[in-house]
């Protein structure tokens, strides 16, 4: 059965525009309770990031779940991976995340976790959508679900984060800048690092409901780089609004992206004999990651873009580590989903164990120049069936002459076509990306004119 509302990462859109409105969320909560509720003792946990619209959607989902006879445990502002963790430890039948991740405050969305703390499979999402087509019926008053706040959610997750690296490892002597993007980790990440002994300088920890991801966080690390250099810090950590992504900055102010962080973690696990199965990247992962891992004798495979597809391939091939260049890293030996704080701690532990700086650790991987251009879409277009686009792709591949890659793909969360070119020669890569993006723009314009 196809899905009408669910995309590659839940349901997302602009607040107030269907389906991201209170009416839809009420029905969604009810349908979720009907599909995932597993008896009279069923409970669902709900967490959110710091967007102002989270209050509205939290209340609507709570009402819908109660109407279906499901109890609710409210976590308040918490990172997405914390909600996955607490879904398991509180023995809930599902977890709901109210977040649009790295998007601006005027967007919001819903993500789900199963009782095991994993993303829902497609057939369960389809079942929820099918239930929403039915009239909403409230159960008898004596069977309505109850709602309670989980007052110790923050402390539970902080302790979990610390437990993901050996107790013997201390961060004393490290000066770390952490940027929480004015998002869900604002009251989590600084505490984790401080409790482990680091000297911490915090930025992006004053959420007001509107400033989430605004000129800060993993998607805009300029503020972090400036702070690391000005404070003479050993490194910087940038998380996104819901805390499932991480980007780092070394002591020289150089960015260390998700591909490089994945390499550092994988190399460390491999050296310790604790890495099983292949490392999973995506179609967007840098060629340098693939080559560096192969140089260590580590198998590398590519999944479709999206953490759910990385996770699927990890499970299929018995792997433990996977991730995306955006910083969404999955350490299945630590967590069931991408966790920015946990991933950062794995890198910090490697620094301490090897007595090496972040800059030194990333030297094992040489990144290929990669250039990506986002082409906005007024309406969907199939790049595979467009003769001009495919001719342009073939031309670019011929110019690269086997020493690079070309990738065109629609975004799973925004109305965009992502045009990516990668190769040894940076200027050639940029030139081919611009030429290809222009052809895509012309095809989009022609599609719009044709109606």
**Residues carrying an active site annotation:** 101
DSSP secondary structure letter of residue 10: B
DSSP secondary structure letter of residue 284: T
CA atoms of 184 and 180, how far apart (whole Å):
8
Cβ within 8 Å of residue 163, ≥6 positions away: none
CA atoms of 176 and 171, how far apart (whole Å):
9
CA atoms of 367 and 39, how far apart (whole Å):
52
Nearest to 229 by CA among 254, 258, 204: 254
CA atoms of 198 and 22, how far apart (whole Å):
42
CA atoms of 119 and 113, how far apart (whole Å):
5
The burial of 384, by beta-carbon neighbours within 10 Å (0-12 exposed, 13-18 middle, 19 or more buried), is given as exposed
CB 245 within 8 A of CB 272: no
CB 54 within 8 A of CB 74: no
Burial 306-329 (b: 16+ CB within 10 A, else e): bbbbbbbbbeeeebbbbbbbbbbb
E-state strands within 276-362: 279-282, 300-303, 321-323, 329-331
Tracing tokens 């509107």 back to the chain, one arrives at 210
Which DSSP string do the residues of 347-362 spell out, in sequence order? HHHHHHHHT--HHHHG
Which of helix, strand or coil describes residue 207?
A: coil
Quick one: tokens of 58?
């939290």
Nearest to 309 by CA among 320, 319, 323: 323
Radius of gyration over every alpha carbon of the chain, rounded to an integer in angstroms: 22
């Amino acid at each position: 059965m196809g899905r009408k509302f669910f995309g590659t990462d839940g349901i997302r859109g602009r607040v107030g525009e269907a389906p991201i409105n209170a009416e839809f969320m009420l029905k969604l909560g009810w349908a979720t309770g009907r599909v995932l509720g597993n008896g009279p003792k069923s409970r669902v946990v709900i967490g959110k990031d710091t967007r102002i619209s989270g209050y509205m959607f939290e209340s609507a989902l709570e009402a819908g779940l109660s109407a279906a006879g499901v109890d609710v445990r409210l976590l308040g502002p918490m990172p997405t991976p914390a909600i996955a963790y607490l879904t398991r430890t509180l023995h809930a039948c599902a977890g709901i995340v109210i977040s649009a991740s790295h998007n601006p405050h005027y967007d919001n969305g819903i993500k789900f976790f199963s009782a095991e703390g994993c993303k829902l499979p497609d057939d369960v999402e389809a079942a929820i959508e099918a239930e929403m087509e039915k009239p909403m019926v409230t159960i008898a008053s004596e069977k309505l679900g109850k709602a309670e706040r989980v007052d110790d959610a923050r402390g539970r997750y902080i302790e979990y984060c610390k437990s993901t690296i050996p107790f013997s490892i201390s961060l004393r002597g490290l000066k770390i800048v952490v940027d929480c993007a004015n998002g869900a980790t604002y009251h989590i990440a600084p505490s984790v690092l401080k409790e482990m002994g680091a000297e911490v300088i915090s930025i992006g920890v004053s959420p007001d409901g509107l400033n989430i991801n605004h000129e800060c966080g993993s998607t805009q690390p300029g503020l972090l780089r400036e702070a690391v250099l000005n404070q003479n810090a050993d490194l910087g950590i940038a998380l996104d609004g819901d805390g499932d992504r991480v980007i780092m900055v070394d002591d020289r102010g150089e960015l260390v992206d998700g591909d490089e962080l994945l390499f550092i973690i994988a190399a460390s696990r491999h050296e310790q004999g604790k890495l099983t199965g292949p490392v999973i990247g995506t179609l967007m992962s840098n060629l340098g990651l693939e080559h560096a891992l192969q140089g260590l004798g580590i198998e590398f495979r590519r999944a479709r873009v999206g953490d759910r597809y990385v996770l699927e391939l990890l499970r299929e091939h018995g792997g433990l580590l996977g991730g995306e260049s955006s910083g969404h890293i999955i350490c299945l030996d630590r967590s069931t989903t991408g966790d920015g704080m946990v991933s950062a701690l794995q890198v910090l532990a490697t620094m301490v164990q090897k007595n090496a700086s972040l800059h030194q650790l990333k030297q094992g991987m040489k990144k290929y120049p990669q250039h990506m251009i986002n082409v906005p879409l007024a309406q969907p277009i199939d790049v595979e069936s467009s003769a001009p686009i495919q001719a342009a792709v073939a031309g670019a591949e011929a110019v690269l002459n086997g020493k690079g890659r070309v990738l065109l793909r629609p975004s799973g969360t925004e109305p965009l076509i992502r045009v990516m070119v990668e190769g040894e020669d940076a200027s050639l890569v940029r030139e081919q990306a611009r030429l290809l993006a222009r052809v895509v723009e012309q095809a989009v314009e022609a599609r719009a004119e044709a109606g």
